[in-house]
């Protein structure tokens, strides 16, 4: 229970505390406040917000266009690869190397160089493409121009096995085999006697 003297002291403390924050009339204060009020227009930052947003969007668009890789339509790569392909050593394809590691995830240095050379083919210094040879030459002959009893002469045919690899050539040289098989000619085919 709080005794009376202590309650009186608390009351005196509260009274003095209230006086410490008591204010007197200040008529000029309100006038000073009103004089200091600025024009309440939209803040310059808010007013300029649409312009700032448009500028930011334009900058973003420019940055996007600048950073995007150029998409230039390139000619098909097939003819270039066909031109450069003979430069690749045939040994690599004919004789498989057991020492070649698996190239999963990475490329062999030799192949990488070759692929790089293919990918960066110098079109100005490369050989001109060879025009394909005509497969057959057909000459139209009228039946009337053929003689009924004439013999057809066939030129001698020569069948030759082309060497496919170096080891094959070496084997032929050792055995002294003639790779060419010649069919003697000329042959004459006469019309069948009835």
Partner 1 sequence: MLIAPPAQDAADPEVVRLVTLARGGDRTAFGRLIEDHLPAARRVALAAVGQPSDADEAVQEASVAAWRRLDGLQDPAAFRGWFMRIVWRKALDRRRSLRSWFERFGGAAIDAGGTPLLEHATPDASPDVLLMSRQLETAIAQVIKGLPRRLRDPFLLAASGDHRYEEIATLLAIPIGTVKWRISEARRLTRIKLERMGHGAPR
Nearer to partner 1, 10 or 119 (CB): 10
Size of the site for partner 1 (CB under 8 A): 32
Question: Does residue number 20 form part of the binding site for partner 1 (CB under 8 A)?
Answer: yes
Question: Does residue number 13 form part of the binding site for partner 1 (CB under 8 A)?
Answer: yes
What is d(CA 153, CA 7) in angstroms, rounded to the nearest whole number? 147
Cβ pair 151, 158 in contact under 8 A: no
Question: Does residue number 1 form part of the binding site for partner 1 (CB under 8 A)?
Answer: no
Nearer to partner 1, 15 or 112 (CB): 15
Q: How far apart are the first and last CA of the chain?
A: 155
Question: Does residue number 48 form part of the binding site for partner 1 (CB under 8 A)?
Answer: no
Phi/psi class of residue 93: alpha, beta or left (left: φ > 0; alpha: ψ in -120 to 50)? alpha
Question: Does residue number 22 form part of the binding site for partner 1 (CB under 8 A)?
Answer: yes
Q: Positive or negative CA dihedral for 75, 79, 83, 87?
A: positive
Question: Does residue number 29 form part of the binding site for partner 1 (CB under 8 A)?
Answer: yes
Question: Of the candidates 1, 4, 142, 155, which one interacts with partner 1 according to CB under 8 A?
Answer: 4
Cβ pair 107, 150 in contact under 8 A: no
Binding-site ranges for partner 1 (CB under 8 A): 4-6, 8-24, 26, 29-30, 32-34, 36-38, 40-41, 43
């Amino acid at each position: 229970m709080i005794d009376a003297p202590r309650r009186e002291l608390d009351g005196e403390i509260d009274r003095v505390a209230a006086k410490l924050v008591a204010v007197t009339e200040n008529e000029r204060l309100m006038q000073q406040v009103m004089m200091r009020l600025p024009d309440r227009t939209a803040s310059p930052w808010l007013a300029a917000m649409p312009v700032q947003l448009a500028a930011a969007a334009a900058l973003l668009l420019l940055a996007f266009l600048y950073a995007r890789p150029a998409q230039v339509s390139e000619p098909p790569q097939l003819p270039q690869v066909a031109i450069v392909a003979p430069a690749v050593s045939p040994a690599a394809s004919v004789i498989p190397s057991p020492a070649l590691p698996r190239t999963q995830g990475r490329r062999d240095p030799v192949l990488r160089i070759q692929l790089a050379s293919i990918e960066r083919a110098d079109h100005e210094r490369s050989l001109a493409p060879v025009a394909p040879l005509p497969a057959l030459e057909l000459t139209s002959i009228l039946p009337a121009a053929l003689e009924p009893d004439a013999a057809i002469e066939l030129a001698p045919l020569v069948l030759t096995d082309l060497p496919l690899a170096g080891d094959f050539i070496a084997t032929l040289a050792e055995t002294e085999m003639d790779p060419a098989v010649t069919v003697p000619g000329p042959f004459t085919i006469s019309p069948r006697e009835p």
